[in-house]
Amino acid sequence: MVRVLIVCLGNICRSPLAHGVLRDRIAERGLAQRIEVDSCGTSGYHSGDQADPNTRRVARRRGVDLEWHRSRQLTDADYFEFDALVAMDRSNERGIRERLLPNADVQIVRYLDFVQDAPGPDMPDPYYGGEAGFDTVHDLVDAGADALIDWALTLQR
């Protein structure tokens, strides 16, 4: 079983949306026995909170249920329990790498590495924008989901 952890800052906007989309796509592709996905934030600002209302609204409109999601913060154990940590932007990647323990054997990549013709290296943070920003994030998450899943399958031990 390959375990993939999607990481953003607060785990209420970008990472839960990617978590939900990937979870659904993995199930649709019949890969639930081979890949598991989770999400967290580098900060604990929103620990225990549901995904942002705009995130849930955009996801629901596109057929993705996020009502089950509760935010959590990245832990030291995550570096050992997951095969890959997927950062939503360079700031999150730095936060992940700063906490990296010397004996951890985990791949660290950015989500937009899997999006062909990505608008840049960072998934935009829609938190302070309107609903259109959440739609943009959903579009980018959709665009990279299959490539990320295909890559994760190469990590299978």
Q: Is 14 a catalytic residue?
A: yes
Question: Measured at the alpha carbon of residue 142, what is the angle toward residues 136 and 146, in degrees to the nearest 5?
Answer: 155
Which of the following is catalytic: 13, 14, 56, 78?
14
Nearest to 88 by CA among 2, 1, 10, 3: 10
Nearest in space to 5 (alpha carbons), one of 155, 122, 128, 139 = 155
Q: Where does the chain show beta strands of DSSP type E?
A: 2-8, 35-41, 84-87, 107-110
Does the active-site annotation cover 3?
no
- List the catalytic residue out of 8, 25, 52, 89: 8
- H or E element, residue 20: helix 14-28
Q: Which of 78, 83, 89, 125 is catalytic?
A: 125
Q: Which residues are the active-site residues?
A: 8, 14, 125
